[in-house]
Amino acid sequence: MPATKVGFIGLGSMGRPMAVNLLNAGTDLMVHNRSQEVVRELAGLGAEAATSVAHIAGECDRIFACLPNEETCETILMGDDGVFANVNPGAIVTDHSTVSVGLSKRAAEYAVRSGAQFLDAPISGGPVGATDGTLSIMVGGDEAAFNSVLPEFEKMGTNVIRFGASGAGTAVKLINQLLTCIHTVAAAEAFNLANAAGVDILKATDLLQKSFGGSTMVGRSGPITADRSFEPSGAPMRNLIKDIGIIMSMADDMKLSMPTGTAAAEILYEGRDAGRSEHDIAATIISIEEGSGGQASRSARQLKRNN
């Protein structure tokens, strides 16, 4: 049996280290990215540079994509010059992007028409997890296809779970992102309270992480908030802004009440409107600080009166 040829499209802050881990594990890898600098870097590590998406689709048995947004994902996967228009029958296409469930299901339909298979397999763990190979990978799609790709998944992540049919992995990722958005804003609100009370943020973070109030986002945001080191960031606010938009649209379609999700979205959108989309997600505290003394404190006084 010939060796499996693997393709990777999208070499950003997540895709690049994932591709490097595949290379380090001995994978026969072809890569493609809009920016050629990172392609040249990976070629220096042993990857083959694809000339186009069509090239990578026509050459590879396993194709992985890690793309920044729905528009790019749709173009790369389903466009006239995209993966499914050029893929070989029997190939397995995996999308690691955070997109809507509807887009993942449409991609699966395109795959069927092209004779390929599709897995939605969004990831969590950030650039650190991508670099360390410790990502959580939540997968939707055919079980046999999942089992075929599992060896590649295990080169990139340590928590790999198939949740069901196409769209299931994306649904779990959006649930994760809802919690991430809420926890990010909650941590910012807590640290704003700590600052106002004269509490040392780093000491508070250490204690909170050993208490019921701790969370991944408390542990992450605490040191960044203490140092006010919001730029540059491997986890810019624009990512959560994109994700919360997808989540709220999904909830609206399902007619679900999302009170804390709505509150988190408002804070994130305030950061966007103030020009902080490229700031670290911990910079949500700035929007809360700017509201203190205004609507935020009025709301607190109103609650006190009502009690």
Residue numbers annotated as active site: 173
Selection from 204, 238, 260, 181 nearest residue 12 by Cα: 238
Show the CA angle centred on residue 182, arms to residues 154 and 202, nearest 5°. 85
CA atoms within a 13 Å half-sphere pointing along the CA-CB vector of 60: 30
> Does a cis peptide bond (omega within 30 degrees of 0) precede residue 232?
yes
Whether the Cβ atoms of residue 272 and residue 299 lie closer than 8 Å to each other: no
Written as six digits, the tokens of 20 are: 């490097």
Written as six digits, the tokens of 34 are: 């809009």
CA 38 to chain centroid, in Å, comes to: 20
Task: Report CA dihedral (129, 237, 177, 102) to the nearest 10 degrees.
Answer: -110
Residues 32 and 53: their CA atoms lie apart, in Å, by 7
Strand pairing partners for 29?
6
DSSP E strands: which ranges in 58-213? Answer: 62-65, 92-95, 117-120, 123-124, 135-140, 157-164
Selection from 185, 279, 280, 193 nearest residue 204 by Cα: 193
